[in-house]
Amino acid sequence: QGSELTGPGAGGGDWQKSNGELARICVRKTVMKFIFMSSHLLRFLLALALLPGSQGWRGMASSKSLSSRRSDVVCMSARKRREGESEGLQVAKLPKGCARPKLVVFDLDNTLWTPELYQLKRSPKADKDVWLFEGAKGALHELATDEAWKGTKVAIASRTNKVEWAKHLLEKFEAAPGVAVAELAEYKEIFPGSKRKHFQNLKRASGVPFSEMIFFDDSTMNTNEIETMGVLCVFCPRG
């Protein structure tokens, strides 16, 4: 007396109804998690699709060694697919003839990697103290391996005051097997201050006009400022 039975056989239709609702909630949470994990790469691809141009921007490869290495990685990836091996990263492809920028520029802290370097007390180690975001891994991998991007250069624009730490991590993180992010990113502007100076230096060094650049950053202060220069900016609040 005073107790209440719960579970199958108690409540009948009510129990089935509550379990059906629980199942729907679980499915909805799984779908939302998948959407969240995919949002970084989708944002990257959508921004590129909005760039001006008709048959795509063309340019010279940033370096012969990187171009050759890109070909090697492409061949290795094709061989793995033939042998049934999984590469782990699944990257969506842009449509043929889609316009591509001549310079892709990434911020570092909270855009390519986490945590932000100012939060650390000692020189960080890649994949131990600092990690690349999954979406960043996918974008860097495609830029380093896909021949469709051989006419696009990559750059870094960061305001961190941990300059040497940042350069060290860029040497340690790989965009693709055997290709360090430091090698992929031909231009690096890493110093405190306004990013207008970073982009003025990038334009001067690369010869690429602002209108043919795309910039990824987690700070609206930076994206709003650089947007006024004519650069297409993508706000990445979570990397």
* Catalytic (active-site) positions: 107, 109
CA dist 113 → 24, 109, 169, 219 (Å):
34, 6, 10, 14
Contacts of 98 (CB under 8 A, 6+ apart): 48, 49, 56
Question: What interhelical angle do 220-227 and 195-206 show, nearest 10?
Answer: 50
Question: How far is 104 from 217, CA to CA, in rounded Å?
Answer: 12
Q: Judge contact between 154 and 184, C-beta under 8 A.
A: yes
- Which amino acid does the sequence have at 205? A
Phi, psi of 104 (to 5 degrees): -105, 125
DSSP state of 95: P
Q: Is 187 helix (H, G, I), strand (E, B) or coil?
A: strand
